[in-house]
Amino acid sequence: MEAVATNAAVAAVAAAPQQVHHHQHQKPRVSSSCATMKAAAPGFATPVLSAPANSASRSASSVICAAERSPWLGQSTGSFGSSGALTGSVRLNRLAGKGGAGANTSSGGGRVTMMSASSAADAAGDSSAAASDSTSSSGLNPALVTGFFFLMWYLLNVIFNILNKKIYNYFPYPWFVSTVHLLVGVSYCVITWTLGITKRAPLSNDQLKALIPVAFCHALGHVMSNVSFNAVAVSFTHTIKALEPFFSAAASQFILGQNISLPIWLSLAPVVFGVSMASMTELSFNWIGFLSAMTSNVAFTYRNIFSKKAMTKMDSTNLYAYISILSLAMCIPPTLVLEGPVLLKGISAGVAKVGAYKFYTDLFWVGMFYHLYNQLANNTLERVAPLTHAVGNVLKRVFVIGFSILVFGNKISTITGIGTVIAIGGVTAYSLLKAKEAENKLKTA
């Protein structure tokens, strides 16, 4: 018996390298179950837990999959924005095809333990395979599931923008409405914690200090976007927010010291030109709407920068919840100062116009749609390659602009329309070039 056991052990040891070799050359497939962030925006770097690179680490891969489930937001391509850097590591997992454990580094102080692109790809390959098997066994076509996620992402985004603008038509208090958005989202997160749907992660003092500047920029960008939505047409705000990639590229080049290629800069020229054209002849133009949208672009750009310095080992779902809580706490004081003295009068006027039931249910649902469309956005982005994601984000903005014009009947001049098309075209070129550069870097890594 001892001889048989010894022979079996020797055979297992001899087979192990072959399994590892096979795993390292296994082509990673796109996960159909992991969900991770971005946007909104319009980069948060995804917290990734390091995992062994061999095929015996399916459980570790599932931990990575769970850590990347994100109801994050995002609004633009490149960093946090519409893609969100929370999707960055998932892209590495999906695109890098080489094996090897790579060198893990940990900076301590609550910061993230990062893995190399190759080992991330190995881990993603295992979790993707398991997810694909699960999808197959359930009889669901992965392409149909991804298409459904795209559809719901677009639909919820359009509904949010339309309902949000309708509220401002009878209740023009953007600071209060922005705070309600966050309050509903935080309540959703607390309920899921309480019911055990998601497990609350502890928050250390170091993590709290690192997240404060991220939350501040997130709160400022969110409120300023809504100030713009209240002041001008939804289509015009989204046209201005198409400039966010320009601010992101400028920050990367001149603040972070990253080299931005000439083709990238050239692709941003039509964005600037198109937004300028649209602004000059926009019928709903006013300086409050324009400057607040530009401020949100700057705020989201700095959110990207601070988020890269605040990476933690916490899973992205809890990270989103904590930043939402901090942002909510930061929004309440200025809301009370700026709108508090006239808020009760405004609520009374709003209730008189549409009725109490519609007034309060509109506020609740706009908050839920804000939270859910951001969550669906990142569930969608995890399932596709960067090029597909880049096109998807541009089309999302086109959908929002188009539907807002149809629903509200906004009149736009010919020059404004041409400028908007030029700006969207520039964003498309920028997004495709950035995604292509990312793929090329991973292929040569």
pTM for the model stands at 0.64
Q: Are residues 261 and 402 in the same domain?
A: yes
Q: Are residues 71 and 147 in the same domain?
A: no
**Is there a contact between 214 and 310 (Cβ–Cβ < 8 Å)?**
yes
Q: Are residues 122 and 165 in the same domain?
A: no
Q: 38: domain range?
A: 24-137
Q: Are residues 167 and 225 in the same domain?
A: yes
Q: Are residues 169 and 90 in the same domain?
A: no
Q: Are residues 154 and 119 in the same domain?
A: no
Last residue of a domain, one of 87, 106, 137: 137
Residue 344 lies in a domain: yes
d(CA 301, CA 310): 15
Q: Which two tokens stand for residue 320?
A: 């989103």
Task: Give the number of C-alpha atoms closer than 13 A to the C-alpha of residue 436, restricted to the C-beta side.
Answer: 10
Rounded to 5°, the CA angle 431-43-373 comes to 80
Last residue of a domain, one of 137, 166, 192: 137
Q: For residue 44, how far is the Cα from the chain centroid?
A: 8
Q: Are residues 151 and 108 in the same domain?
A: no
Helix pair angle (414-444, 234-241), 10° resolution: 40
Q: For residue 144, how far is the Cα from the chain centroid?
A: 22
Domain count, the chain: 2
Which residues, including other chains, have CB under 8 Å from residue 150's CB and lie 6 or more apart?
Answer: 380, 392
d(CA 181, CA 71): 14
pLDDT in tens, the chain (445 residues): 444 444 444 444 444 444 444 444 444 444 433 333 333 333 333 333 333 334 433 433 333 333 334 333 333 333 344 334 343 333 333 333 333 333 333 333 333 333 333 333 343 344 444 444 444 445 677 778 878 888 888 889 899 999 999 999 999 999 999 999 999 999 999 999 999 998 998 988 988 999 999 999 999 999 999 999 999 988 888 888 888 888 888 888 888 788 888 888 888 888 888 888 888 777 778 899 999 999 999 998 888 778 777 666 777 678 878 989 999 999 999 999 999 999 999 999 999 999 999 999 999 999 999 988 877 776 676 666 655 656 677 777 777 888 888 888 777 788 888 888 898 888 888 888 887 887 787 777 6
Tens of pLDDT along 222-242? 999 999 999 998 888 888 888
Q: What is residue 367's predicted lDDT score, i.e. its pLDDT?
A: 95
Q: Are residues 91 and 201 in the same domain?
A: no
> What DSSP element (H or E) covers 167?
helix 142-170
Rounded to the nearest 5°, which phi and psi values hold at 199? -90, 125
Residue 4 lies in a domain: no
Q: Are residues 88 and 197 in the same domain?
A: no
Q: Are residues 179 and 62 in the same domain?
A: no
